[in-house]
Chains A and B, each alone.
Chain A
Amino acid sequence: MTQLFSLPLKVLNVGVRSFAESVAAVGAEATQIEWRPPVDGQVNAGHALARLINESRIEEANRSALAAFLDAQPVLEDVRSARDLIPGLAADRLILHAGPPVAWERMCGPMQGAIIGAILFEEWAVSPEDAARLAASGRVAFAPCHHHDAVGPMAGIISPSMPVWSVTNAAGHNRALSGLNEGLGKVLRFGAYNAEVLKRLRWMAAVLGPALSKAVKAAGGIELKPLMAQSLHMGDELHNRNTAGSSLLLKKLLPGLLQSGAPLDAIADVARFIAGNDHFFLNVSMAACKAMLDAAHGVRHSSLVTAMARNGVEFGIRMSGTGDAWFTAPAPIVDGLYFPGYGPADAAPDLGDSAITETAGLGGFAMAAAPAIVQFVGGTPADAEANTRRMRRISLGVNPAFTIPALGFAGSPVGIDARKVVDRGISPVMNTGIAHHTAGVGQVGAGISHAPVACFAQAIEALAQTIPGRVLDGV
């Protein structure tokens, strides 16, 4: 029978605080749990969790998925036209966008602007008005980057002629792609489509892409994990702070660039372009993260989150054990600081696939590596550290490859467990830029946002369906 009578009682109290106080009053150990109802009071979420907590099938699956993630070795291998690497783009008029699926009519301003720009760039229309009509007509298809092994920041638009980074997981052979970062200001990913934007896009396709391809191949491919780990030690978190990563990447590419055989002034343009863009590494970081996470995707019964993404209308997640399903909720507004002249009324809802970095344990999860970020929300370095510690409580483990000096070189928390997000009411935090809600204005600020817990509640309810056994009725 139960051994309880021969042990000192150690109580966990869920509910009325005075019960814990009574236990403590007699000198026994009582821990008050700061409980609140799951997800806005959804009883069903609680029932789903009850089947999944400490469930051996899930624990086993998560161990497997996390191992595949940690073993992944993303290698930057090439830069090619999107149409050469994405079969769907070669076949039909298809444009990829950030976040979960969304129809043209519902897209936010920056995303529509970026698509108009892409259509003009591809010369499928000659004027913005015609481009918009074409987009609305149904004669151009739209799909999430994620459905084609790709990721894109902000509007995240990839069209057939755009050059993309190709990152391969050497340990698993899956591949992830991302476009080249245009820089700041009036750029396509914030919805701008003027002449300057189109000119830059053409230069990137004609000059930058091919030059980078030669440089990467000359380097024999570039292992990204060591480079990213080093960046974390230099003040980057690899979502909103990429300065170190961009510099280290340029170091790797420079010899190959110089030997590429391109004219010197073209090389100079390339070098100037990269050197002038502190976020140049972001897209590489994102592709590397996707390559690592895709290796962990598709493990039956796993509650490891493999993607978080926003399209400016909805926030969506994918989970390892639930296949291609997206679990979505309205995209949150970002809490942050604004550039002079702008304020919360100007903000677009959260946008972009760059939350893939947080999904992989970087960005907001590694905030303790980049204390400068918290200034965006008026916080202190202690807050940055507290954030990383909080994220540890919803993660399956830590990444020994990505260590954070300020935490005594502890590994960054990794492997978001959807169960823990719902059970503990702790939402993944993301460091992010804020776009103006009108196409083409550009970035208006930066800050912190939280993934909607509702997405994770849907995901775990779907997962609970796959576990046989008795269900609590709650009737």
Chain B
Amino acid sequence: MPRIEKTLPNLYRDSVALMQLSARIEGYPGVTRATAVMATQANIDLLKEAKLIGPDLSPRPNDLLIVIEGRDDAAVAGALKQTEEALQQASRIPVDASTGPAAMPATSLEMALEDKPGANFALISTPGEYAAAEAEKALRLGLNTMVFSANVALDDEIALKQMARERNLLMMGPDCGTAIVNGVPLGFANALQRGPVGLVGSAGTGLQEVTCLLDRAGVGVSQALGCGARDLSAEVGALSMLQGLAALAGDASTRVVVLVAKHPAMEVARRIGKEAAQIDKPTVLTFLGLDLGDIASRNIFVAGTLDGAARIAAALALGQQPPGPAGLDPALAAMARENARRLGEHQRYIRALYSGGTFCYEAQVLLVQEAGPIWSNTPIETAHALPDIWKSREHTLIDLGDEVFTRGRPHPMIDLRLRLERLRQEFDDPQTAVILLDVVLGYGAHPNPGAEIASAIAAARANRPQDGHDVIVVASVCGTQADPQTLSQQEEMLRQAGVLLAPSNAAAARLAAKIVDASPNRAGLA
């Protein structure tokens, strides 16, 4: 199959733009495979593995490498020409002699600050190896900072957080995917009403779930501060969460505080609990996977799930008595029993395909109790690490946002292809009973996930043997009416496709467990 390779020197584009470009090239007539990447060592290795380039290419990180494979030479040459034209169009910056220095695009934080001296926030999403340096520059320039990038060295994270504390600046991250500051969405975040609940979280989709559920209950958010995934480790010691907690304690608009984390280190969690007890605002601790014992007190409330945290915080905000933990809604339980009748005797397992890592984690914690051993690529216990992440085994919960799946690919919240291929694979497995999905809306996410998922389900269903049985798809949609995708429209599309909707991730997991429990072979009671 003819293949062409071209390097464009000193032409830099960010990773998302390049993946969009790759997808576009693959759409040109006669193209079978195509990729556009910066010629870093890591990308070159990826392309060699994929047998898209030969062994001899040396890395030139500021050069753009295009590889196109197609059905014949003409198709490949034509595609390359179209690609180069597209790149040229995009980079044409008009030279206007009459405008001042601001006509030149800023190429660094300091340069941008010269043009916009009132700027007060830096959002950094460069490749990980450059992010720490950019964050330090931002802090030195007096900017509150969020680092979306992952793969930042632990020592650098600690140093940056200490520097931020010394300078009285926010430092959210690294590996912080979600924040909402002063009502402005940063990273992956939802459109929310402003209100009295302030949140701090090291779990991005955790923050999204709690804020969306609050929004649905008519309760608004003052601030949702991210910490970065590693903040509550023993080494980092929750520097960001403690700083965020103090900030919310002093914020007049915040009346209720919610803290969200995935399995923090025990001593760090205790320290946070102690700090929270000192502030005079009711605080909900949501430390998934960690049993804090009897830490609850006059103003400390403990939630075991994200939806529980939202229920408690909403009640506190509305001046009501906070509810205790809830099980599966009876209406959903009835729905489970009714739908379980569609399953055949071989269908026994739950296959969950998550885009949000926190959702995968929360579901595992619940399903281990309710359905038995759970296999995963991000398992709660290492004994149940999936031997082959590309092939499910018994009950399997996959985090598609984990690095093993996202290397060289866009995040599953943006691009559904990998997830929907896996969905088809699970549909075709005769042992699959329930497929469990999270659908995350909001800024930064896919513009219409419901439509793509519905379409994939229809195609998968059509391909199943017509044996009178079915695979049951369960989903929860994390989003709001005001989100660009509009919550109700997404839910309707999924319902039309026969998806059973639950109001939260925890409810969806419990619903899935209930279905297999009620199924003809009752695999859930293993």
A residues neighboring B (CB under 8 Å): 1-2, 4-5, 7-20, 22-23, 25-26, 28-29, 31-38, 40-41, 43, 46-47, 49-51, 53-55, 381-383, 385-386, 389-390, 392-393, 420, 423-426, 470, 472-475
Cα distance A25–B100 in the bound complex, in angstroms: 26
Q: Which of B122-158 contact A (CB under 8 A)?
A: 122-127, 129-130, 132-134, 136-138, 140-144, 148-149, 153, 155-156
B110 contacts A26, CB within 8 Å? no
Contacts of A18 in B (CB 8 A): 16, 444
B106 contacts A34, CB within 8 Å? yes
Contacts of B120 in A (CB 8 A): 4, 7, 9-10
> Known: A22-B185, A49-B137. Contact between A14 and B125, CB under 8 A?
yes
B107 contacts A13, CB within 8 Å? no
A53 contacts B110, CB within 8 Å? yes
Cα distance A474–B148 in the bound complex, in angstroms: 17
Q: Does any Cβ of A come within 8 Å of B443's Cβ?
A: yes
Contacts of A392 in B (CB 8 A): 101
Q: Which of B142, B168, B444 lies in contact with A19, CB distance below 8 A?
A: B444
B residues neighboring A (CB under 8 Å): 12, 14-17, 40, 59-62, 95-97, 100-101, 103-116, 118-127, 129-130, 132-134, 136-138, 140-144, 148-149, 153, 155-156, 159, 168-170, 181-187, 189, 191, 222-223, 246-247, 250-251, 253, 443-444, 484
A-B contact count (CB 8 A): 219
Contacts of A22 in B (CB 8 A): 185-186, 189, 443-444
> Known: A5-B182, A17-B16, A36-B62. Contact between A46 and B134, CB under 8 A?
yes
Q: Which of A1, A40, A55, A472 lies in contact with B168, CB distance below 8 A?
A: A1
> Known: A12-B113, A15-B148, A475-B155. Contact between A26 and B185, CB under 8 A?
yes
* Chain B nearest Cβ from A53, distance in angstroms: 5
Contacts of B114 in A (CB 8 A): 393
Nearest opposing residue in chain A for B93, CB measure: A34
* Chain A nearest Cβ from B278, distance in angstroms: 15
Q: 14 new A-B pairs (CB below 8 Å) besides A5-B182, A36-B12?
A: A1-B250, A8-B182, A11-B121, A19-B123, A22-B443, A23-B123, A26-B184, A28-B184, A29-B119, A31-B106, A43-B130, A46-B130, A386-B97, A393-B104
Q: Which of A32, A55, A383 lies in contact with B140, CB distance below 8 A?
A: A55
B126 contacts A35, CB within 8 Å? yes
B109 contacts A12, CB within 8 Å? yes
Nearest opposing residue in chain B for A394, CB measure: B111
Cα distance A475–B148 in the bound complex, in angstroms: 19
Q: List 14 A-B pairs, Cβ < 8 Å.
A: A1-B251, A2-B247, A9-B184, A10-B118, A12-B116, A13-B123, A13-B125, A18-B16, A19-B123, A31-B116, A40-B62, A54-B140, A420-B111, A472-B156
Q: Which of A15, A41, A474 lies in contact with B156, CB distance below 8 A?
A: A474
Contacts of A10 in B (CB 8 A): 116, 118-121
Cα distance A433–B165 in the bound complex, in angstroms: 53
Contacts of A2 in B (CB 8 A): 144, 168-170, 247
Nearest opposing residue in chain A for B60, CB measure: A40
Contacts of A38 in B (CB 8 A): 130
B133 contacts A47, CB within 8 Å? yes
> Known: A18-B444, A54-B141, A474-B153. Contact between A46 and B133, CB under 8 A?
yes
Cα distance A5–B103 in the bound complex, in angstroms: 30
B108 contacts A424, CB within 8 Å? yes
B184 contacts A473, CB within 8 Å? no
A386 contacts B95, CB within 8 Å? yes
Q: Which of A5, A14, A385 lies in contact with B122, CB distance below 8 A?
A: A14
Cα distance A36–B91 in the bound complex, in angstroms: 14
Contacts of A389 in B (CB 8 A): 100-101, 103-104
> Known: A4-B144, A18-B444, A393-B101. Contact between A11 and B106, CB under 8 A?
no
B132 contacts A472, CB within 8 Å? yes
Q: Which of B14, B109, B116 lies in contact with A16, CB distance below 8 A?
A: B14
Nearest opposing residue in chain B for A41, CB measure: B61
Contacts of A32 in B (CB 8 A): 105
Contacts of A424 in B (CB 8 A): 107-108, 110-111
- Greatest chain A CB density within 10 A among B97, B125, B138, B184 is at B184
> Known: A4-B181, A9-B182, A33-B112. Contact between A25 and B15, CB under 8 A?
no
Contacts of B137 in A (CB 8 A): 49-50, 53-54, 423
A474 contacts B186, CB within 8 Å? no
Cα distance A432–B89 in the bound complex, in angstroms: 31
* Chain A nearest Cβ from B224, distance in angstroms: 12
Contacts of A25 in B (CB 8 A): 443, 484
* Chain B nearest Cβ from A304, distance in angstroms: 16
A12 contacts B143, CB within 8 Å? yes
A33 contacts B108, CB within 8 Å? yes
A35 contacts B251, CB within 8 Å? no
Q: Which of A4, A12, A381 lies in contact with B182, CB distance below 8 A?
A: A4
Q: Which of A50, A425, A470, A475 lies in contact with B133, CB distance below 8 A?
A: A50
Contacts of A23 in B (CB 8 A): 123, 184-186
> Known: A37-B127, A393-B104. Contact between A53 and B141, CB under 8 A?
yes
B16 contacts A9, CB within 8 Å? no
Shortest 3 CB-CB distances between A and B: which pairs?
A41-B61, A15-B125, A46-B133
* Chain B nearest Cβ from A415, distance in angstroms: 15
Cα distance A20–B121 in the bound complex, in angstroms: 12
A43 contacts B159, CB within 8 Å? no
Cα distance A54–B109 in the bound complex, in angstroms: 11
Cα distance A174–B212 in the bound complex, in angstroms: 70
Nearest opposing residue in chain B for A34, CB measure: B105
Cα distance A50–B137 in the bound complex, in angstroms: 5
Contacts of A50 in B (CB 8 A): 132-134, 136-137, 140
B168 contacts A37, CB within 8 Å? no
Cα distance A258–B95 in the bound complex, in angstroms: 50
Contacts of A382 in B (CB 8 A): 95-97
Cα distance A35–B100 in the bound complex, in angstroms: 21
Contacts of B181 in A (CB 8 A): 4-5, 9
Q: Which of A5, A15, A47, A474 lies in contact with B14, CB distance below 8 A?
A: A15
Cα distance A43–B42 in the bound complex, in angstroms: 14
Cα distance A16–B18 in the bound complex, in angstroms: 11
Contacts of A41 in B (CB 8 A): 40, 59-62
Contacts of B132 in A (CB 8 A): 47, 50, 472, 474
Nearest opposing residue in chain A for B152, CB measure: A474
Q: Which of B104, B130, B149, B187 lies in contact with A37, CB distance below 8 A?
A: B130
Q: Which of A11, A55, A383 lies in contact with B184, CB distance below 8 A?
A: A11
B247 contacts A19, CB within 8 Å? no
- Greatest chain B CB density within 10 A among A381, A393, A475 is at A393
> Known: A5-B247, A8-B182, A31-B112. Contact between A385 and B223, CB under 8 A?
no
Cα distance A392–B104 in the bound complex, in angstroms: 11
B140 contacts A4, CB within 8 Å? no
* Chain A nearest Cβ from B87, distance in angstroms: 15
Contacts of B136 in A (CB 8 A): 50-51, 53, 472
Contacts of A49 in B (CB 8 A): 133, 137
Q: Which of A47, A383, A393 lies in contact with B95, CB distance below 8 A?
A: A383
Q: Which of A5, A20, A420, A475 lies in contact with B153, CB distance below 8 A?
A: A475
Contacts of A1 in B (CB 8 A): 168, 246-247, 250-251
Cα distance A121–B492 in the bound complex, in angstroms: 92
